[in-house]
Structure 1
Amino acid sequence: MKLQYLLYMTAALSLTSCNDAFLDRESQSINDGTFWNSVNDLRTYANAFYGILPGGVTNLGDEDSDNQVPFSPNSFLWGQYTVPTEGGSWSKSNWQNIRNLNYFMTHYQQVQASEEEINPFVAEIRFFRALEYFAKIQTFGDVPWLESELNVDSEELYGPKMARNEVAKKIIEDLEFAITWLPEKGSEEDNRLNKDIARHVLARVCLNEGTYYKYHDELGYSADVQGLLQKAADLTDELINSNHYEIYKTGNPGTDYYNLFVMEDKSNLKEAILYIDYASALREHNATHWLRNAKSGWSKDFADCFLYTDGKPASATSKAHVQNRTMAEEAQDRDLRFKQLILTSEDPYTMTSNGSITYITNDADFVSADCPTGYWVRKYFDPDPSQDIEAKCTIDGIAYRYAETLLINAEAKAELGTITQADLDKTINQLRDRVAMPHLTMEVGFTDANWPDWGYSVTPLLQEIRRERRIELAGEGFRFGDLKRWKAGKLLNNVQTYVGKYVQGEDGEFHQTIIYTNYTNPDCSYEAGKSRTWNDKMYLYPIPTGELQRNPNLLPQNPGWE
């Protein structure tokens, strides 16, 4: 599905307000007497929201997690975040899309046409509203549910928050409506949504909410955890059985995963449930060039989580396991995604138009101001000079990827206790086949001394499914959400999640790279400093105090932020 960048339509988006407070609203400025006259008006209005879709080229999306380490400490994770008075993710601009989507829901009935003509565009609007509200509950938990046009006198502006699980039900209703009324894959208009995209997103929502309620039992939500997980499994079964999609592999396990992301034209990529088209002078991005000076890199903890080619971790491998000090030692006999996600001396660091190629050959040179951990991100990094240009890259993106569909299916069924070897072969092992890794079996066959301590019992199979998700989706922005829904924030206390690789010093000894000089690692023979400590209040962001003062019905503040 070729999704060009759809610009916001001026008529549909001239919906403004006089300040940045959520509760302060002006009336609409669309001329309702002349706009809502045809189905094409609905199409035009819906066009405005296609910019909500993911750009599909995210490679540093895990800087707020244990996977990646930004140059400057993340203030939220390091306990330096203070409750704002205004703004943030509760700002007027962050509620604007919901307001504009609800404006459509109030007015679209004015169009005189059949249900079959109208409802596909209503489905698009409700799909986008679901995306907006899903982001809201992931950030804040309980939020007000608004579904109609409001004005300055509307009582709903000062209404209470709705419980997260009840908002989730509304999100599911919106996405189920979208599945009912969007066209089947292949019969949609050019550049528009289809049922499979809605199925995938709904499966994502159901897995997220089902696991969140399961592990956050302290919230006391009345939620059908089993029903949510079953819905995630059923929806992904539908996508798998449709035979519309497949994992990209050409028989080159050492390059296929990397090439999946850097191939310029993804219009025929069957792993893309939805790809995003980029083209010169029309829509370009900076995902490739930015990595050269991103001042960010993978963490030591992430580098250590890769299995060896015998399908076992460092604590159980039959491979000659060394100290993992040099990059060559770390990459040797590892899951081939290691070298496709992390730059090694085997792959180019720069290329020029005259054919000159450079490599990082001195192990210490992996650590630099541009990659303080030493673990350079390779996902979407293409040193080809035609793409390695600031804000001029035209490598297509993947908004929704079939690999995630398979991971949702496997995790949901493992959580339900219904997973079979056939399920693993259709899901996890499809990903492992791409990189020539041994299959995961129902009997994992080893115990990893370094499995995360989640604070609750996890089966070996689920441990490995979570590991597979961490590696396959690395950098794409899933990890912090996963840690939150698994109630696993305390994993961020591990010092290996914010330090880098070992580098040999002038004394001949190897020393671990410390990124934050004022946040040094007490386990690394360096001067002791401040370490990171998780606080459970960080599972949610706080509501700005100005909003609570304007609307006491939003109280209480999120736990721990009072």
Structure 2
Amino acid sequence: MKLKYILYMAAALSLTGCNDSFLERGPQNLNDQSFWVSVNDLKAYANAFYGLIPGGVSVLDDTDSDIQVPNNINSFLWGQYVVPTEGGVWQKSNWQNIRNINYFMTHYQSVQAAEADVNIYVAEMRFFRALEYFNKIQLLGDVPWLEVDLNVDSEELYGPKMKRNQVFQKIIEDLDFAIQWLPEAGSEEANRLNKNIARHVKARFCLNEGTHYKYHNELEYASEAEKWLQMAATESDKLITSGRYEIYNTGHPQEDYFNMYRIDDKSDLKEAVLYVDYKTDIREHNMAAAGREAGCGFSKSFVESFLCSDGLPISLSNKYLGDETMRKETANRDPRLKQLILTNDFPTNVTDDLKDSTFVVNEDEFITQHCFTGYRPIKGFNPIYSQALYMKSSFDGIAYRYAETLLINAEAKAELNTITDADLDRTINQLRDRVGMPHLTVNVGFTDPKWPDWGYSLSPILQEIRRERCIELAGEGFRFNDLKRWKAGKVLNNVLTYVGKRKPDGNLAIVYPNYTNPDLSYQAGKSRTWEDKMYLYPIPTGELQRNPQLLPQNPGW
């Protein structure tokens, strides 16, 4: 399935401009008397919201977590975020898509056509509303639920927040409508949504909420945790048993993970639940060039998390050669390590005629002005300079990947204590087969002394499923939301989450010298210290003053 970014008609484009007074205005340049006439009008309106779907070319999107370290401090994670008076993640322009989706919802009934023809586009719009509201509850928790077109006199403008679990129930209702009315996978119009895409997103959201309710010990929601985890398992099972998808594997474990991202035309890639079509000189991206000037690097703790080729962690395997050099550190490890970070064996530059390549020779060359940790990301990178110019990549992206579907399924079943070796063979072990790693079994068979300190005990099988998820999806923007739903923010207190590789002098690369002692000991007031209030962003004080029904402020702020 592909997603080609549709050229929007001028009327639809006008819906997406930023304007903080949007709640007091109707969408511009739409004549309600002449526009809401045909099914094609609904389709044209829906086209403008396809940009809400991920572009599928992420590689540096985990810098707000423990696995990627930006060259500059993330103020939110370092406790430097101040409650804004206005704006922040609550600013009115951030609600504009929901306002415009609801404008559609209160006007589409004017179109006189067969129910099925109309509801395809209603389903698309409800899918987009689900995306928007899920982002809201991840950032803010309880939020107002709006489903009508508003004007300056609407009472809903100053209405109360709705409980997070109630908002989530509304999100599921939107996704269930989408699953009911969107076409079956393979029968949809080119470049548009189908039932399986909605199922994948529903499974993702249900895993998030099920684990959130479980680990945050929110008693009023506790009974719902199992419900959503079961639903995550059920919806992902449907994709698995459909037979439409499979993990990209050509039998080259040292290359396949890396090469999958670099496939130019992904129209036949069965790992893509939804792929994004890019075209030279029409729609291009920067993934092939991003590694050259990354502005971040993977963390020491992330690199240490990779298993050795015998399936054991570095703390237990005699195959681990230590971290004295990059060559030793990456030897005999899960092959994804060398397909994610720059090593001595991966060229930094290749001539256009492919006759000459440049490699890192000296250890101190890994640490550069563009990557302070020395663990430079190469996912999607192209060392042939002429093929990796800034914003000139045109190989297709992946908006929703089957690998995530498998990870959702395994984690949900492990959380439900129902997972079997057969479940692992059709999920986690499909990912391990691609890179030639030993299979994971329910009886893990070891206790890793370097398993993360989540702040609570965790079964060995869940520890390993979390490890697999971290590695497989690295750089794609999942990690911080994972830490939040697992209530695992304290992982960020580990100094190894913001330092890098071992340098020739024997010390680890310190990314923020003013915050870390050379021996990696904490400096009072200068270490990264997680506070539980950071699981949510605050509501601006100005909003609370205008609308006291939004009180209380989010916890801790």
For this structure pair, what is the TM-score category when the shorter chain's length is used for normalisation? over 0.9
Equivalent in the alignment of 2:33: 33
Per the TM alignment, residue 89 of structure 1 is displaced from its structure 2 partner at its CA by 2.0
Per the TM alignment, residue 290 of structure 1 is displaced from its structure 2 partner at its CA by 2.4
Aligned counterparts, 1:470-489, within 5 A: 470-489=470-489
Asked if 1:395 corresponds to 2:395, the answer is yes
Task: Supply the distance in 1 between the matched residues of 2:539 and 2:268 (Cα, whole angstroms).
Answer: 43
Aligned counterparts, 1:243-254, within 5 A: 243-254=243-254
Task: Supply the distance in 2 between the matched residues of 1:219 and 1:72 (Cα, whole angstroms).
Answer: 38
Structure 1 range deviating more: 348-357 or 393-402: 348-357
Aligned partners of 1:67 and 1:301 also within 8 Å: yes
Equivalent in the alignment of 1:533: 529
Task: Supply the distance in 2 between the matched residues of 1:327 and 1:427 (Cα, whole angstroms).
Answer: 31
Per the TM alignment, residue 219 of structure 1 is displaced from its structure 2 partner at its CA by 6.3
Q: Deviations over 1:206-251 (max 9, x none)?
A: 0000000011114643651111001100111100000000000100
Equivalent in the alignment of 2:291: 291
Per the TM alignment, residue 431 of structure 1 is displaced from its structure 2 partner at its CA by 0.3
Asked if 1:360 corresponds to 2:360, the answer is yes
Structure 1 range deviating more: 449-458 or 242-251: 449-458
1:550 maps to amino acid: R
Aligned partners of 1:351 and 1:385 also within 8 Å: yes
Equivalent in the alignment of 1:153: 153
1:25 maps to amino acid: E
Structure 1 range deviating more: 142-151 or 285-294: 285-294
Task: Supply the distance in 2 between the matched residues of 1:53 and 1:386 (Cα, whole angstroms).
Answer: 29
Q: Deviations over 1:271-295 (max 9, x none)?
A: 0000001111110011221221122
Aligned residue pairs, count: 555
Distance 1:527 1:543, change over 3 A: closer
Aligned partners of 2:510 and 2:518 also within 8 Å: no
Per the TM alignment, residue 322 of structure 1 is displaced from its structure 2 partner at its CA by 3.1
Equivalent in the alignment of 2:98: 98
1:512 maps to amino acid: L
Equivalent in the alignment of 2:181: 181
Per the TM alignment, residue 354 of structure 1 is displaced from its structure 2 partner at its CA by 3.4
Instruction: Calculate the aligned-residue CA RMSD, in Å.
Output: 1.7
TM-score of the aligned structures, taking structure 2 as reference length: 0.97
Task: Supply the distance in 2 between the matched residues of 1:362 and 1:181 (Cα, whole angstroms).
Answer: 58
1:469 maps to amino acid: R
Distance 1:222 1:304, change over 3 A: closer
Aligned partners of 1:13 and 1:100 also within 8 Å: no
Task: Supply the distance in 2 between the matched residues of 1:237 and 1:361 (Cα, whole angstroms).
Answer: 47
Asked if 1:493 corresponds to 2:493, the answer is yes
Per the TM alignment, residue 339 of structure 1 is displaced from its structure 2 partner at its CA by 0.2
Task: Supply the distance in 1 between the matched residues of 2:299 and 2:524 (Cα, whole angstroms).
Answer: 20
Equivalent in the alignment of 1:255: 255
Task: Supply the distance in 1 between the matched residues of 2:418 and 2:407 (Cα, whole angstroms).
Answer: 15
Q: Deviations over 1:34-85 (max 9, x none)?
A: 0011011011011010011100000011000000000000000000001112
The residue matched to 1:165 in structure 2 has which SS?
helix
Structure 1 range deviating more: 84-93 or 64-73: 84-93
Identity of aligned residues (%): 66
Task: Supply the distance in 2 between the matched residues of 1:405 and 1:27 (Cα, whole angstroms).
Answer: 39
Equivalent in the alignment of 2:507: 511
Distance 1:298 1:18, change over 3 A: closer
1:161 maps to amino acid: K
Q: Deviations over 1:119-158 (max 9, x none)?
A: 0110000000000001110000111100110111000110
Task: Supply the distance in 2 between the matched residues of 1:282 and 1:219 (Cα, whole angstroms).
Answer: 51
**Structure 1: where are the runs of 5+ without partners?**
none
Distance 1:391 1:18, change over 3 A: closer
Equivalent in the alignment of 1:325: 324
Task: Supply the distance in 1 between the matched residues of 2:310 and 2:419 (Cα, whole angstroms).
Answer: 23
Distance 1:213 1:15, change over 3 A: same
Asked if 1:303 corresponds to 2:303, the answer is yes
Aligned partners of 2:372 and 2:500 also within 8 Å: yes
Equivalent in the alignment of 2:111: 111
Asked if 1:558 corresponds to 2:554, the answer is yes
Distance 1:504 1:525, change over 3 A: farther
Task: Supply the distance in 2 between the matched residues of 1:466 and 1:223 (Cα, whole angstroms).
Answer: 23
1:545 maps to amino acid: T
Task: Supply the distance in 2 between the matched residues of 1:5 and 1:436 (Cα, whole angstroms).
Answer: 36
Task: Supply the distance in 1 between the matched residues of 2:387 and 2:422 (Cα, whole angstroms).
Answer: 41
Q: Deviations over 1:8-55 (max 9, x none)?
A: 433235358995267x52234421100011011011011010011100
Per the TM alignment, residue 325 of structure 1 is displaced from its structure 2 partner at its CA by 2.2
Per the TM alignment, residue 184 of structure 1 is displaced from its structure 2 partner at its CA by 0.5
